[in-house]
Amino acid sequence: MSYIAITIPAPQELRDVLVAQLSDMGYEGFEERPDELVAFIPEADFEENNLAGLAGSHGLEYTKETIEQTNWNAVWESSFEPVTIGDFCGIRAGFHAPMGDVVKHEIIITPKMSFGTGHHATTWSMVWLMKELDFKGKKVFDFGSGTGILAILADRLGAAETRGIDIDAWAVENAEENAGANGAKNVHFAQSDTLEGEEIGAYDILLANINRNILLANMGSMKRMLKNDGILILSGILQEDEPAIVKAALAEGLRPAERAERMHWLALSFYAG
């Protein structure tokens, strides 16, 4: 499968908005460079008119190129640097040197076309909230698993079983490869774009780092999948989206818990029951 890479010169303060809007248009991966944002979308899903309209609304220009699947490694290896989230978690590629005692947990990720390396504020914030939870012996669900990083971390923290789903088959394949590289044996991934048919009241912790619209559309389903004392952690939320997300969560009987903020993005956790 080939991807289209869109490069948009944009100021830092506008990039979070662009990432949210491009995510809603089907873009699956993002790379932030000093003076520009690069976004990736499957070639079959690319709509030039939609992109042109979005760029024009912000007074921006863009360039595009086609990237064959076989060339992806060269793209991400050229810019992927290790990430540390406090002293709790470090994320690196296989070609980076081990981090040693700098962090408590080290995860190896080969992102390929999937979202989730810890670089983006949403993934960083999800991990930040996860560090406060007890995963030992818990059953975990990862909605929109991307590279599998959150599911792998849940396994590393002692989860008894973690199930992850993603709409993209390539992401599922990538997540399975990453799970194997990290020795995560109690993690299972599947391709799906819906929560219909998932177990009701089965999960202790549900992780969802997607986007505002999908979170709102699935709030009820996510609540029903949790046990009475379960915990829901959400991200892909801009600051201005917080009232709508909290309102939808309260309407389903969820109770606000913790909040993490990074670069205009939020991660929010809620208690079920």
CA angle 107, 110, 111 (to 5 degrees): 110
pLDDT tens across 187-242, in order? Answer: 999 999 899 999 999 999 999 998 888 999 999 999 999 999 999 999 988 888 99
Residue 158 gets the label, from left (phi > 0), alpha (psi -120 to 50) or beta, of left
Q: What confidence category does residue 84 fall into, taking pLDDT thresholds of 50, 70 and 90? A: very high
Residues 258 and 201 in one domain: yes
What does the alpha-carbon distance between residue 190 and residue 151 come to, in Å, rounded to a whole number? Answer: 12
For residues 156 and 213, state if they share a domain. Answer: yes
For residue 90, is it within any domain? Answer: no
* Domain shared by 169 and 257, yes or no: yes
Q: How confident is the model at residue 169 (pLDDT cuts 50, 70, 90)?
A: confident
For residue 87, tell me if it sits in a domain: no
pLDDT, tens digit (0-9, with 9 covering 90-100), for 2-33: 789 899 999 878 887 898 899 889 887 777 77
Query: Which CATH number fits the domain that encloses residue 22?
Result: 3.30.70.1170
Residue 30: what pLDDT?
76
DSSP annotation of 218: T
Q: What is the mean pLDDT of residues 122-132?
A: 93
User: pLDDT class for 265, splitting at 50, 70, 90?
Assistant: confident
The verdict on 66 and 149 lying in the same domain is no
Q: Do 57 and 144 fall within a single domain?
A: no
Instruction: Record the pTM.
Output: 0.78
pLDDT at 93 over 90: no
Comparing 69-73, 80-84, 122-126, which segment has the lowest mean pLDDT? Answer: 69-73
Whether the per-residue pLDDT at 122 is higher than 90: the answer is no
Looking at the fold, whether 146 and 237 belong to one and the same domain comes out as yes
49-82 b/e (C-beta count within 10 Å ≥ 16 → b): eebeebbeeeebebeeeebeeeebeebbeeebeb
Pairwise CA distance, residues 9 & 252, whole Å: 40
Which of 30, 49, 77 is where one domain is finished?
77
Q: Decide if 86 is inside a domain.
A: no
The domain spanning residue 187 has which CATH number?
3.40.50.150
Does any domain span residue 124? yes
Residue 94 within any structural domain of the chain: no
In a domain, 144, yes or no: yes
Q: Which amino acid is at 55?
A: A
Last residue of a domain, one of 57, 77, 97: 77
Kindly state whether residues 121 and 61 are assigned to the same domain.
no
Tell me, yes or no, whether 63 and 121 share the same domain: no
Question: What pLDDT shows up at residue 134?
Answer: 97
The pLDDT of residue 126 is above 60: yes
Q: Which of 19-33, 69-83, 247-261 has the lowest mean pLDDT?
A: 69-83
Q: Do 124 and 207 lie in a common domain?
A: yes
Tokens of 270: 């809620």
Could you tell me if residue 104 is inside a domain? Answer: no
Question: What is the residue-averaged pLDDT of the chain?
Answer: 89
Q: For the chain, how big is the Rg over CA atoms in Å?
A: 18
Residue 71 has pLDDT above 60, yes or no: no
Residue 27 DSSP one-character state? -
Say whether both 158 and 238 belong to one domain. yes
Q: Is residue 107 part of a domain?
A: no
Percent of the chain residues topping a pLDDT of 70:
92
Domain assignment of residue 218, given as a range: 113-271
Q: Are residues 145 and 204 in the same domain?
A: yes
Quote the number of domains for the chain.
2
User: Which pLDDT belongs to residue 165?
Assistant: 97
Judgement on whether residues 231 and 174 belong to the same structural domain of the protein: yes
Q: Is the pLDDT confidence value at 67 over 60?
A: yes
Q: Is the pLDDT of residue 96 over 80?
A: yes
Average pLDDT over residues 67-94: 76
Once rounded to an integer, what is the mean pLDDT over residues 150-176? 94
